[in-house]
Amino acid sequence: MKEKIILRVISKFLIPYILLFGLYVQWHGDFGPGGGFQAGVIFASGFILYGLIFGVSNVRTAVPSAATRILLPLGVLGYGLVGVMGIFKGGNFLDYNVLAAAPTGGQHLGIILIELGVGVTVATAMITIFSTFASRAELQKPRDEER
């Protein structure tokens, strides 16, 4: 893609806005359409576009595999801990009402934390899947000398 200067310039311009929109969908998801899954996919699409234009090795530099190995279970763990907190506070699993003094505050806090866990898990899973398959494709490409 080094010879595709227009794609490189446009993607450098768009990627920050894609990531910003992903964050908007994440934090606005408890009041309107959107939430963790959609935000995670949008956020990961920024990194996937970066990988398609600038190379998978650059994505692995920006998001190392060690980071994805840590963030994937942390998102699931965050989701589970919010559910278990409901049990520890005297409610049911994923009962948000008991998370704060006011039931509406507990609902709001619970939804934000659940959606954050889903968003982190989905984003890191998508980045990991893309990096894994794209890395394999780069290894299997014939080199210019072999043609």
pLDDT tens-digit series, residues 54-96: 999 999 999 999 999 999 999 999 999 998 998 998 888 988 8
pTM: 0.85
- Residues of 74-102 as b/e, b for ≥16 C-beta within 10 angstroms? ebeebbeebbebbeeeeeeeebbbbbeee
Beta-carbon contacts of 115 under 8 Å, excluding residues fewer than 6 positions away, are 26, 29, 30, 35, 36, 39
Domain residue extents for the chain: 5-140
Q: What is the pLDDT of residues 83-138, one digit of tens each?
A: 899 899 888 898 888 888 887 788 888 888 999 999 999 999 999 999 999 887 66
